[in-house]
């Protein structure tokens, strides 16, 4: 499954539009939200007891014919066969999980057919660990090794609206009727809210599920429907029984009770609200193609796994905390992540939907068939799924060029998090608490996991990588694994000659999975151009005086790839040299004299590259030459991302960085521009809303984007790349936001034509047009979009409208939309709406902060958790650039009522103050040269900036480190 760090969206919008990173499963908490695990609490179950078969029967009450007190509840029975496999001879108790199950009662039997009832006692579920301890009451009884036992339980539960466990969801149909459904979200530890169980991924079993429902509903589950018969207790009810599942973990059990309609060919189904049936066509077409691609790659046909005849179903759920979820045979999604309208949805939404489907289907092998042993190894599930999200989709939709998008979307996106003091390793066998589990579902497991696997794939070769994975899946089918099991397979298929270059492959794997962070590779080209030296160090974004906790001595085994000015071979990603885990410099000889060397071809390696002054100058000239001297767009993007990040970290000053970046004015690549604008976004935030800085930066963006804006325009052109379509929306967003008069004029005309004449706007530029209309428009314009949202039936358009309404700049409209978010927007979408409200206009930062601090208690109720407001305030305050703003944060933080409300979450605000202090210090030290460049550039005074500045920066950073 998956989560998000800041809910990122499927519909392209605002400054970083088209297409955004995917949301896949559980919303990811920020680092500030993660509370440390209590050392004295044991969350983990004993592995001396192994479940075999669960027989679960649930009776659901959803229909409004039931009294209010009897509605949204379920009655349950669960019979679980399990074995004791321990070696101890006097064991009298065992422990399982149960949470929020009322009237819970157990009976324990010895024998696989429950031949002998045992006398037991049990206490309530522990409020911290959710553990229930069941103990033999008679002194003579104890568990016998190898013996099967049956635990039978009865209970009832509540279908809450918090989008966890077995929960309820609501929508309004096309006739205005309120409709309810019940769905599941069990990952990571919420199956225990539906039935007592061993609720950890290690404990795999077979599940026999039957569900009683009112006749107006239908039921979908992991497997095919075995039979449906009248419920003997009520003539208005039916009991649906499903085929036994394959052997699997609790978290991928799923069932859905609804009035949904399914598009089906018998083996592949897409469930959705009846009125959304037409929007299931694309998912129904692309889903089987993606599944077949994975069948072929793994050499294991999903449909026949375990000797079965499995169906594949997908369902669009109106209220869903995760982006999507990989339940075996019943994948569940947010509606916007599955439903597509060919006339009203953008092509970036189409790509996102295909990618999320590929991600979830990849889990059928990597996660469901073979499962990580514990959540501390989440990357064994999510890293693979994120990898196939791109490369399976690329096989089916090569026009999306997702192979080229991967480095920008995934590697460059996670680099920021992985260079901070709070970063975590990919593998963490100590993770056990709910907070630990949430932490594991972050960008390290997803982005870095996928990036490290891609790095290994290129190092050992695609065919060898595929062979290793096929062997891995075959050997560990229906089992759990730890990283070493995977590494052993890589070793088995790694080419012998290349393996000798690696040396200790164990050190290679563990460099990236057990250590935190990543390196920067420093390259210095010799004066004669016939060799270069390479030296590595850990890259950290913050300097020593601020980041006092990070281990700066970490080193990594690095697969180095490179090309030179004379060769320009950007196709070969084979490793040319493995740098040992050492800070000692290594010299690499060249056969032909080079003017420049460029490392990390196609950014297949998980590292940054810093060049000596002369080499960087040469690369700059090469990029500025015709056709960028045939340097491919992924390496241009890598160079740009590294350059802007090095300026942020103090390796080089902004004056020189922005001078080099001038080449981008003649680069029309979406890949290059994405890296550039991501880096410039950080600079824009740090400059803040001071009028002089704002004026200079606005003029700079106008000049920098002028050529690409004129080239792309508002109209799509025949034969252009999909990436050009994405770039158009991105450039329009920036050009309009930074006051390009022509851009604003055309966007307003298109919006007026929509509002007055009903003329639809091209879906691929809607986010830019809508956002500009909100920023520049009136309350009448806002009310028009809000009314459109209220009656909108296209899921991707609904999502887009939620975010673009946050582009309003008028203070009255900001407050108006803030209140709408808290009271009318679905809970799952509120984070994205709030984020847009303060991130799309610098002038709104203080206002949104004030609105939240005045209503923080109501905010937390609306968002569903205490601390939601603190986390949002922390995100907002990361944009603070003045002492006055810091004072405002401190004043709020220090109120006793605020401390009492947040409790342990108050530390989020404490950390936010530290972040503001760091940002103020950073701005004082770093922005002087940026302001100097912007002022000179806008006055036309820039000619040539001395490279002594960059040389000075390069020397200075060694003192910093």
3-class DSSP string for 673-718: HHHHHHHHHHHHHHHCCCHHHHHHHHHHHHHHHHHHHHHHCCCCCC
CA distance 596 to 582: 25
The SS3 of residue 45 is coil
Instruction: Give one DSSP letter per residue of 638-683, joined into a string.
Output: HHHHHHHHHHHHTSS-HHHHHHHGGGGGG---HHHHHHHHHHHHHH
Strands 206-214 and 49-61: parallel
Handedness of CA 873, 796, 824, 261 (dihedral sign): negative
How far apart, in whole angstroms, are the C-alpha atoms of residue 168 and residue 160?
6
DSSP one-letter string for 224-289: -EEEEEE-TT-TTEEEEEEPPPPSB-GGG--EEEE--EEEESSSEEEEE-GGGGGGGHHHHHHHHH
Ramachandran quadrant class, 545 (left: phi over 0; alpha: psi -120 to 50; beta: rest): alpha
Q: Is 815 a known active-site residue?
A: no
Distances (CA, A) of 243 to 215, 263, 491, 573: 21, 21, 39, 47
What's the rounded Cα separation, in Å, for the pair 285 and 396? 11
Please, which residues bridge with residue 229 across strands?
A: 239
* DSSP three-state, residue 590: coil
How many Å apart are CA 832 and CA 804, to the nearest integer? 10
Between CA 851 and CA 916 the distance in angstroms is 19
CA distance 352 to 9: 9
> Are 843 and 689 a contacting pair, CB within 8 Å?
yes
**Helix 483-493 / helix 505-513 crossing angle, nearest 10 deg:** 140
Q: How far apart are CA 746 and CA 165, in angstroms?
A: 48
627: Cβ contacts below 8 Å, ≥ 6 apart: none
| Cβ atoms of residues 676 and 644 within 8 Å | yes
SS3 content of the chain, % helix, strand, coil (to 5): 50, 20, 35
Cβ–Cβ < 8 Å for 320, 21 = no
The continuous run of DSSP H or E covering 156 comes out as strand 148-158
What residues contact residue 100 under an 8 Å CB cut-off, 6+ apart?
157, 158, 160, 165, 193
- Tally the C-alpha atoms within 13 A of residue 960's C-alpha that lie toward its C-beta: 20
- Supply the Cα-derived Rg of the chain in whole angstroms: 29
Strand partners, 258: 218
The C-alpha atoms of residue 325 and residue 320 are separated, in whole angstroms, by 10
Residue with token string 């958790």: 865
498 CA to centre of own chain: 34
- Strands of 367-494, DSSP E: 371-372, 480-481
Q: Of 335, 206, 245, 340, whose CA–CA distance to 286 is shortest?
A: 340
Q: Which of 32, 200, 243, 360 is catalytic?
A: 360
Residue from 501, 363, 542 nearest 445 by CA: 363
Output the six-digit token pair for 700: 């700079």
Active site residues: 360
């Amino acid at each position: 499954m998956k989560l998000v760090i800041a809910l990122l969206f499927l519909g392209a919008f605002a400054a970083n539009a088209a297409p955004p990173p995917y949301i896949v499963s559980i919303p990811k908490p920020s680092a500030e939200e993660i509370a440390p695990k209590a050392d004295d609490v044991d969350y983990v179950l004993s592995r001396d007891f192994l479940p075999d078969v669960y027989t679960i029967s649930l009776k659901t009450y959803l229909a409004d014919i039931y009294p209010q007190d009897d509605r949204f509840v379920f009655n349950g029975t669960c019979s679980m066969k399990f074995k004791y496999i321990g070696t101890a001879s006097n064991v009298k108790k065992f422990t399982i999980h149960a949470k929020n199950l009322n009237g819970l009662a157990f009976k324990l039997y010895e024998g696989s057919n429950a031949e002998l009832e045992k006398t037991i006692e049990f206490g309530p579920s522990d409020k911290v660990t959710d553990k229930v301890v069941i103990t033999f009451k008679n002194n003579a009884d104890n568990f016998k090794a190898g013996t099967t036992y049956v635990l039978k339980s009865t209970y009832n539960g509540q279908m809450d609206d918090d989008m966890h466990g077995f929960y309820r969801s609501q929508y309004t149909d096309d006739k205005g009727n309120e409709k309810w459904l019940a769905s599941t979200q069990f990952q990571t530890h919420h199956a225990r809210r539906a039935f007592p169980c061993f609720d950890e991924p290690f404990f795999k079993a077979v599940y026999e599920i039957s569900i009683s429902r009112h006749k107006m509903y239908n039921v979908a589950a992991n497997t095919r429907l075995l039979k449906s018969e009248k419920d003997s207790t009520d003539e208005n009810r039916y009991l649906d029984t499903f085929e036994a599942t394959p052997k699997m973990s609790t978290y991928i059990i799923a069932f859905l009770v609804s009035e949904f309609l399914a598009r089906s060919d018998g083996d592949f189904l897409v469930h959705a609200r009846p009125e959304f049936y037409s929007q299931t066509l694309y998912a129904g077409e692309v889903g089987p193609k993606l599944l077949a691609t994975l069948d072929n790659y793994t050499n294991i046909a999903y449909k026949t796994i375990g000797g079965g005849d499995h169906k594949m179903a997908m369902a669009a759920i109106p209220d869903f905390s995760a982006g999507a979820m990989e339940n075996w045979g019943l994948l569940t999604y947010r509606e916007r992540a599955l439903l597509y309208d060919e006339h009203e949805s953008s092509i970036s939404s189409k790509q996102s939907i295909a990618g999320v489907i590929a991600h979830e289907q990849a889990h059928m092998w990597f996660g469901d068939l073979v499962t990580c042993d514990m959540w501390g190894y989440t990357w064994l599930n999510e890293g693979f799924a994120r990898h196939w999200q791109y490369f399976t989709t690329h096989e089916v939709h090569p026009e999306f060029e997702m192979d080229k998008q991967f480095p920008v979307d995934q590697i460059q996106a996670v680099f920021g998090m992985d260079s901070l003091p709070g970063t975590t390793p990919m593998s963490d066998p100590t993770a056990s608490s709910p907070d630990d589990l949430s932490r594991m579902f972050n960008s390290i497991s997803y982005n870095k996991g996928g990036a490290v696997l891609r790095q290994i794939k290129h190092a050992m070769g695609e065919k060898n990588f595929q062979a290793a994975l096929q062997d891995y899946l075959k050997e560990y089918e229906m089992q759990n694994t730890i990283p070493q099991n995977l590494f052993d397979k890589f070793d088995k298929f790694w080419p012998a000659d290349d393996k000798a270059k690696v040396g200790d492959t164990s050190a290679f794997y563990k460099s990236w999975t057990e250590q935190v962070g990543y390196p920067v590779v420093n390259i210095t080209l010799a004066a004669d151009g016939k060799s270069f030296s390479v030296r590595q160090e850990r890259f950290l974004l913050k300097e020593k005086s601020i980041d006092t906790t990070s281990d700066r001595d970490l080193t990594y085994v690095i697969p180095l790839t490179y090309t030179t000015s004379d060769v320009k071979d950007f196709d070969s990603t084979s490793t040319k040299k493995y740098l040992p885990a050492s800070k000692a410099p290594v010299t690499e000889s060249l056969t032909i004299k080079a003017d420049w060397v460029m490392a990390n071809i196609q950014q297949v390696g998980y590292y940054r590259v810093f060049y000596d002054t002369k080499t960087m100058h040469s690369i700059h000239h090469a990029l500025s030459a015709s056709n960028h001297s045939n340097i491919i767009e992924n390496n241009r993007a890598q160079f740009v991302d590294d350059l802007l990040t090095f300026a942020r970290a103090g390796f080089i000053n902004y004056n020189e960085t922005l001078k080099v970046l001038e080449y981008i004015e003649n680069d029309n690549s979406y890949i290059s521009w994405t890296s550039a604008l991501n880096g410039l976004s950080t600079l824009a935030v740090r400059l803040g809303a001071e009028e002089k800085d704002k004026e200079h930066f606005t003029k700079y963006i106008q000049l920098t984007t002028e050529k690409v804006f004129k080239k792309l325009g508002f109209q799509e052109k025949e034969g252009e790349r999909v990436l050009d379509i994405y770039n158009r929306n991105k450039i329009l967003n920036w050009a309009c936001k930074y006051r390009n008069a022509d851009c604003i004029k055309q966007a307003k005309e298109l919006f007026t034509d929509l509002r007055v004449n009903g003329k639809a706007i091209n879906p691929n530029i809607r986010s830019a047009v809508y956002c500009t209309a909100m920023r520049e428009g009136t309350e009448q314009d806002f009310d028009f979009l809000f009314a459109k949202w209220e009656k909108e039936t296209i899921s991707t358009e609904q999502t887009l409208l939620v975010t673009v309404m946050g582009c309003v700049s008028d203070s009255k409209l900001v407050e108006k939309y803030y209140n709408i978010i808290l009271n009318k927007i679905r809970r799952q979408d509120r984070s994205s709406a709030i984020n847009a409200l303060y991130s799309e206009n610098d002038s709104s930062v203080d206002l949104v902060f004030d609105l939240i601090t005045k209503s923080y208690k109501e905010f937390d109720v609306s968002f569903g958790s205490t601390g939601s407001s603190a986390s949002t305030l922390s995100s907002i305050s990361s944009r603070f650039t003045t002492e006055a703003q810091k004072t405002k944060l401190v004043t709020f933080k220090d109120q006793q009522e605020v401390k009492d409300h947040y409790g342990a979450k108050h530390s989020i605000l404490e950390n936010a103050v530290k972040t503001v202090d760091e940002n103020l210090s950073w701005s004082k030290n770093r922005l002087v040269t940026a302001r100097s460049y912007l002022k000179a550039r806008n006055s036309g005074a820039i000619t040539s900036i001395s490279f002594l500045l960059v040389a000075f920066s390069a020397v200075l950073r060694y003192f910093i480190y």
